[in-house]
Every structure is written in structure tokens, then in C-alpha cells.
Chain A
Amino acid sequence: MSAPTATTESLEVRVKRLEQEKAALEQELRALRLEQSITLTASAPLAHSTNGEGAKNDLQGVPSSSTVFTPFEKVAALTNPEIARYGRQLILPGFGIQAQMDLRNCSMLVVGAGGLGASCALYLGAAGVGRLGIVDHDTVDISNLHRQVIHNEARQGMSKARSAALSVQLLNPHCEVVVHELVLESSNAQDIINAYDIIIDATDNVATRYLLNDASVLGQKPLVSGSALRLDGQLTIYNYRGGPCYRCLFPTPPPSETVTNCSDGGVLGVVPGIVGCLQALEAIKVATGLNKEDPPTMTLFSANSSTMFRTIKLRKRKAECIMCGDSPTITKLIDYVRFCGSSATDKTPDLFLIPYNERITCQSYEELLKCRVPHLLLDVREKVQFDICSLPSSLNIPLKALPNELEKVKANLEGQADRPVYVVCRRGNDSQPAVRILQENGITTGEVKDIVGGLERWSNTIDPDFPKY
């Protein structure tokens, strides 16, 4: 007697279905455990430590940089959970299963988990990129969160690379995320870049931009480059289909004094978010060949202009380019910090322009205030910063305007030719050239000194109620 067809057929089908359900449940369980571990770590005091060690050690499930050198396994078909997840892309005319498979079988490296990397990594992970590497050496700070929306309040002090990886993993467990907690430099960049198909430049400094360009040219990888500051952004795919590399367009690095970082120049949070989204889009187009007919372009984003987007047509790579030209003179990675004259981070380094004996500490200045010593306190920050907070009875003349406003300084000495002048700024950098300007112009016969560490140190050591920004 043969069993009813329904049973014989369904046995095999049921096994398959249950296996699939089991796999889906396991995935959900992993995601929940991940979320749980984050909640647990966030409530532990170590999670707030500045080096992020506590947070790092307690979290399971996100592979670290060593994994990248294990071969990336391509697949021949999507699983049912993947089909369910990517359904809206799969039914998209001109995208469909082929493009989704291309994404699944593609590995991408996002360098920088800051303002650009935040939106870029989230969308790439969500879209179904097979392997996503995230590079960052920094830790999450409260002042990042207005734009770096991939991190959150509870992750202060945690490694940005790890925090970003967790967010992507929570959003899409199908995406294999690899964490690279390091400063990308000449000694390690090439091996990492060679391990990926598409490189995304979401960095915040000039030196790393040249490093990434050169390593991408040497490794023959397309480089999806984005940048943003204040209200402006730029987007270009370099080293792609015969188009130019970064050096073709910008052969000379800008002098470091003309480069502004987000910390000093300010940035509207959504601006890097937009550019990061555009980078994700371009990377998806490269991976799927959607843009294979397009000529090279640079997109300029100006948030506050009536024409928010402009597209500049670029030319082919330059035959005489020292990196990607016909006879390149750069054939291996160089010292980019030296080449650019600026560091490979966006942190503002401390300036040591004037000797220590021509400066005063916050403590000494506080003493002087208590003793009511007559003096002039000159604040050389930009007005927009002065408007946030300032010390009582300080006179605001921004450093840039100072050479033309010396009369105003004199007028504020109230007729006392030897009245001392103290100069303050945000961190004790701009105050130093200001002291030099005042001394060279003999503004007073009294002492001219600046306050070491500026208002930031004033807040840290003297008055915790004084705001920091």
C-alpha cells in the first residue's frame, strides 16, 4: 500500500520548511543576543571608558579585521529569507535578481565611520552587500551624534568601527561585517584594500584621502569618494573605467593651514548624511554595473544654494599623472602625513608657537581675576563661537580680523599704556599667533600672554559649568 501522496510529498517539504524556519529563528536569535549584549554593555560603567576596551571585549558576533583575509565566499543563489528581505529591490525593473546577486557577491570597504560612513554603511548593509568592512580608529563622542547617526548615546567611548558594525548587523544579519579598528596607513592599507572589491572614502582628512587614492590605484579598485564640510559636499568615483584618480584632479595637497575640519569649521549634520547616501548609491551602481555607460563626473552638493546639486563632467585619467598616468613615478605607498604636512586624523593638534613663559595657565588667570588685576581679556574666536559662550568682560576680535582692528584693542586699554592683555580662544591655538600680532605691534607696554588650553581647559579645570562645544 502506498501512503497518501500528501504525506510522502510533504515529509521532504516539511523538513525543508522547518530547516528554513530554524535558520530564520537562529538568525533572529543572534540578532536579539547582539542587541541584548549591547544593552548590557551600555549599562556597564566600562562602556563609557574613553578607550572603549570594556565595550569591545564584551561583544560577540562581529568579526574583527583578521577575518578579512579569509576568502569571501560567493553564492550561486539567494536564500528564501534574503528573497523576502530584498523583495522591493528584486521587483525593481532594471535591478532585479541579477543586481541583487551582484551585491551579495560583492565586498566593500567603508573607510571612516563618521558622518559620511554613518549613512553610507547603513544603506550598503541594508541593501544586501555580501561583505562590508568598516575602518575607524576613533571612539564615539557625544559631539559626533548630530551627524553620525549609526552610533548612539549608549555607545559613547566605544570604538566607532565596532559600533557601526553592530548597527549594520542589527539592521541586516545577512551582511557579513568586518571591523578594522585601526588608523589606515602606508604599512597596512594595501593588504586591507586588496581584500575588497570596492573602496569607499568616507574619511575626514587629506592624508588618508591621498593614501586611499594611491592604494586604490595600485590595487586597481574603484574608489567612491565623498567629502563634506559646513554646508558643502563632493562626490566622485575615482580610478574607475578609465576616469581620473584623485591626483589627476588635485595633484597638490592643500597647505594644512587652509584645511578646515568639522570640529573647527562646523558641519550641518544632514550634509555628510546626504553625501554618504550618495556614496552608497554610487557603490551599488559600481557593484551592479548600473552606471557602466556613464562618463566620469564630480557631483557638487551645496546645501544652501538654490541649485543644490551640480554635476561636473570630468575627463579621462591624465596621461602625465604621477600615480595613474602612462609612466607613474609612485609605484608604492609613500609617507602621506609628510606629503600632506597634516596628520591622518581630523583632530586639531596642539600648537606650540610661543614659549611657555609667554603664556599663562587657567589657574593663574583665575588668581588674577580673583585679585581684580586690571587687564584686557581678548577672545580671538570667530563671532559664531563667541556667541555660544564667553568669559565675562572679554572683548571679541577674531584672529583673522585682528591685524585690522588693533586700534579697537588699544581703545579698550582705557588709557593705561601698561595694561596687560590676555588672549583666549577655544583650545589655546589661535591665541598664540594673536599674542605675536599684539607684541609685534607694541599694543601695550605691559605683558601680553595667552591662556594655555583656552576655554576648553577653563571648563575642564576651573569652571565645569562653562560650556564645551
Chain B
Amino acid sequence: MTQHFKVLYFASAKDASKTDGDKFEWSDNINAEALTKLLLARHPDLAPILKVSMFAVNMEYMDQDHSWTVQPGDEVAIIPPVSGG
């Protein structure tokens, strides 16, 4: 059975992807770098935004390094800075 994980887009990431969330097929070894590639393949307009965004997995901040991989059923949040006020 294919397993999935969910991605939530906030603020300008939502505008660029034109959705507030979507589903991806899960596979082994999706680290921050691989995740970025997956996201860009689906939403090329995210390119400038991902460079400055923060990642959170299951509502917890994650460094953009190799210390973690996406697990099946995870909810990944893409959080770019909002600067208006």
C-alpha cells in the first residue's frame, strides 16, 4: 500500500502553490533537500520562497539539515516569513 505525507503551505507559499495543502507519496530518505526537490517539481513558483522558508514537521520546527527524514503520515509545514503589518 502506498503511504503518504501531507504538506501545508502558509502565507506566500500558499499564494505560489495556489493551494493551502497537498499530499505527496512517501518514500524512504526524504530529507530537507529531497523534500525541496519534490516541492519544486510540483510547484516551480515556490523556488524563491523555499530559499527563505522555515520547515516544521508535525508542528515542530526542523533544521534544514540531514538530521531527519519525512515519515509516513507526517504533516510538513512550509512557513515563509510574513513581513507586513
Contacts and interface: CB of A to CB of B under 8 A. Distances in A.
Interface of A: 112, 114-117, 202-206, 209, 226-230, 232-234, 249-250, 252-255, 257-262, 265, 267, 272, 275, 298, 300, 302, 305, 310-315, 346
B64 to A, nearest CB: 10
Nearest to B83: A206
Contact of A233 (B12, B51, B80, B82): B82
A273 B13 CA distance: 23
B84 to A, nearest CB: 4
A301 B4 CA distance: 26
B48 A254 contact: yes
Contacts of A230: 11
B1 interface: no
Contact of B85 (A204, A252, A258): A204
Contacts of A275: 85
Contacts of A300: 10, 77, 79
Nearest to B45: A400
B51 A252 contact: yes
Interface string B65-82: 000000000000101111
B63 to A, nearest CB: 8
Given A252-B52, A313-B60, A226 B85 contact: yes
Contacts of A232: 10-11, 14, 82
Closest 4 CB pairs of A and B: A229-B84, A227-B82, A204-B85, A116-B85
29 contacts: A112-B85, A116-B85, A203-B83, A203-B85, A226-B85, A227-B81, A227-B85, A228-B84, A230-B11, A232-B82, A249-B61, A249-B81, A254-B80, A258-B48, A258-B52, A259-B83, A261-B84, A265-B84, A272-B84, A298-B61, A300-B77, A300-B79, A310-B59, A312-B56, A312-B61, A312-B79, A313-B59, A313-B60, A315-B63
B54 interface: yes
Interface string B12-47: 101000001000000000000000000000000000
B52 A202 contact: no
Given A250-B52, A305-B20, A310-B59, A202 B85 contact: yes
B7 interface: no
B78 to A, nearest CB: 11
Nearest to A203: B85
A260 B10 contact: no
> How extensive is the interface on chain B, given as a class?
20 to 34
Dominant SS among interface residues on chain A: mixed
A346 B59 contact: no
Contacts of B79: 234, 298, 300, 312
B84 A267 contact: yes
A368 B61 CA distance: 58
Given A232-B11, A249-B61, A254 B81 contact: yes
A234 B59 CA distance: 14
B84 A204 contact: yes
Nearest to A111: B85
Contacts of A267: 84
A312 B59 contact: yes
Contacts of B10: 232, 300, 302
Nearest to A311: B59
A340 to B, nearest CB: 9
Contacts of B59: 310-313
A262 B84 contact: yes
B49 A346 contact: no
Nearest to A204: B85
Residue from the set B11, B48, B83, B84 with the largest chain A CB neighbour count within 10 Å: B84
A234 B82 contact: yes
A260 B84 contact: yes
A315 B61 contact: yes
Nearest to A300: B10
Given A228-B82, A254-B80, A305-B20, 15 more contacts: A202-B85, A205-B83, A226-B85, A228-B85, A230-B11, A232-B14, A249-B61, A252-B51, A254-B49, A255-B52, A258-B48, A260-B12, A298-B79, A300-B10, A310-B77
Given A312-B61, A313-B59, A253 B85 contact: no
A258 B48 CA distance: 7
Contacts of A117: 85
Contacts of A305: 20
A461 B15 CA distance: 35
A250 B54 contact: yes
Nearest to A244: B61
Contacts of A233: 82
Given A227-B84, A232-B11, A298-B79, A312 B51 contact: no
B19 to A, nearest CB: 12
Nearest to A205: B83
Contacts of B52: 250, 252-255, 258
A314 B62 CA distance: 8
Contact of A234 (B20, B48, B81): B81
